[in-house]
Structure 1
Amino acid sequence: MKHATILIADDEVEIADLVALHMEKEGHKIIKVHDGEAAVHAIQKHTPDLAILDIMMPKMDGYEVTRQIREQQHTLPIIFLSAKASDFDKITGLVIGSDDYMTKPFNPMELVARVQAQLRRTMQFNQVSSKHSSPLEAGGLSIDPEQRQVMLYGETVALTPKEFDILFLLASHPKKVFRAENIFQRVWGEAYFEGQNTVMVHIRTLRKKLGDQDHTLIKTVWGVGYTFYG
């Protein structure tokens, strides 16, 4: 796996230094900042391959950082590393566009493994996308894998990276039924444990953004999984 540029944003300097130490051991280049505004500027300036964000930061919290960079169409994987440990916080993080969520205190080696998994998944997805250079068309929906852009009747639909990956996976295999665990393993690139709710939340927000309240695009096959009809 190629060495990556990783942004670490945490106002606790000791934690940022600890994370940086372990990432540097893997050969990655590190950019460290200690507030949310600096995180946004660093992403705009350096375009890192992955970001590790705290949530409770001065000037701008991690949620707002994520909202802003997703609105700007930055597709880098984001891992939240936070002391906020409730299910609500985790779901909020996933819905607004993060790719993973770890709580403090944390095992540095587990964080390294999660970072490597996200980088590996991104590399694999890019390889698959290169084989599908032409946009996928379904009714008024256009999915461009090279630009990672979705258009619905000529209007851009702003999706998070995970939402795009799920949609592209399903649309690339129309009428094939994917179990939640299959979607989780292929999109997140990790072993499936408790990923069903994560997939369900992403499918729900994806349908909302596509105006698919009646499930004509993404159908639920009860007791099995999800399929794309277009």
Structure 2
Amino acid sequence: MDVLVVEDNKSVTSMLEMFFIKEGIDGEFVHDGSEGYRRYREKDWDLVILDWMLPGMDGVTICKKIRESGSKVPVIMLTAKDSESDQVLGLELGADDYVTKPFSPLALMARIRAVSRRYQGEKASAPGTRDVSTSDFQISKETREVFLKGAPLTNLTPKEFELLYYLSQHPRHVFSREQLLERVWGYDFYGDERTVDVHIKRLRNKIGSKDKPYLHTVWGVGYKFDEAAGDEI
């Protein structure tokens, strides 16, 4: 597994290098954003880890450029910013996950393994993955296209697509945050469960309305996909 880490804190990279060696991961560590983006373009990486604040070019810009190139390589953001707006920005630009500093190396390793498994699994299973067709939605896992009442939705992030795809496969089934983290994110979550809330909020704003949100909150339990009109439960 080839992982590019763009992080200017050398104590963090030293710690990660030690864990990478233990886990058998081939990591390359770059301390400047512009140099990191150059190295990204020179090789086919299995995973990219980006610090948010970097000299030369910040991690958010690098992530944006990666997604604009059409690449689906998994991206994990490392950030000291823990506000919801900052998290939303990184995810909106195409990051698969974020880890807030200070973080546990073991937690990061769990994220790396999970993101990698999901990425490789998607590539292997895409041709045989069934589409979802509901009254209002047509969703293709293979082409990653979403049509709402016949109109294409082109502004979904990768994780928003996966969340919508999973929930729409199980209409009216209520999932807890923990279940969604396990089944959509693919790992036992070590961080803040607000990750699910942020994605649900953004996705609901993109696909629904106040009268017909599609994604309903079941208070004290979790979330469900339901095309029935009405406010949140």
TM bin, normalised by shorter chain, reads 0.7 to 0.9
* Counterpart check, 1:86 vs 2:85: no
* Counterpart check, 1:177 vs 2:180: no
Counterpart in 2 of 1:29? Answer: 26
Counterpart in 1 of 2:142? Answer: 146
Selected match of 1:166 from 146, 154, 163: 163
Listed one character per residue, the Cα deviations across residues 121-141 of structure 1 (whole Å, up to 9, x for unaligned) are 444555665542x43233453
Listed one character per residue, the Cα deviations across residues 83-108 of structure 1 (whole Å, up to 9, x for unaligned) are x253344454445443131314x443
Listed one character per residue, the Cα deviations across residues 17-71 of structure 1 (whole Å, up to 9, x for unaligned) are 5423432432223343333334444444434222211111123211222233334
Point out where structure 2 has 5 or more consecutive residues left out of the alignment: 228-233
Q: CA RMSD in A?
A: 3.1
Aligned-pair CA distance for 1:201: 0.9
Q: TM-score w.r.t. structure 1 length?
A: 0.77
* Aligned-partner SS, 2:49: strand
- Conserved 8 A contact 2:137-2:146: yes
Aligned-pair CA distance for 1:189: 2.3
Task: Work out which structure has the larger RCO, using CA pairs closer than 8 Å and 6 or more positions apart in sequence.
Answer: 1
Point out where structure 1 has 5 or more consecutive residues left out of the alignment: none
Aligned-pair CA distance for 1:229: 3.2
Selected match of 2:46 from 49, 69, 87: 49
Percent identity between the aligned chains?
35
Partner AA of 2:83 in structure 1: D
Counterpart in 1 of 2:100? Answer: 102
* Counterpart check, 1:210 vs 2:213: no
Write the distance in 1 (CA, Å) between the matches of 2:35 and 2:207: 33
Counterpart in 1 of 2:3? Answer: 6
* Aligned-partner SS, 2:17: helix
Partner AA of 2:98 in structure 1: D
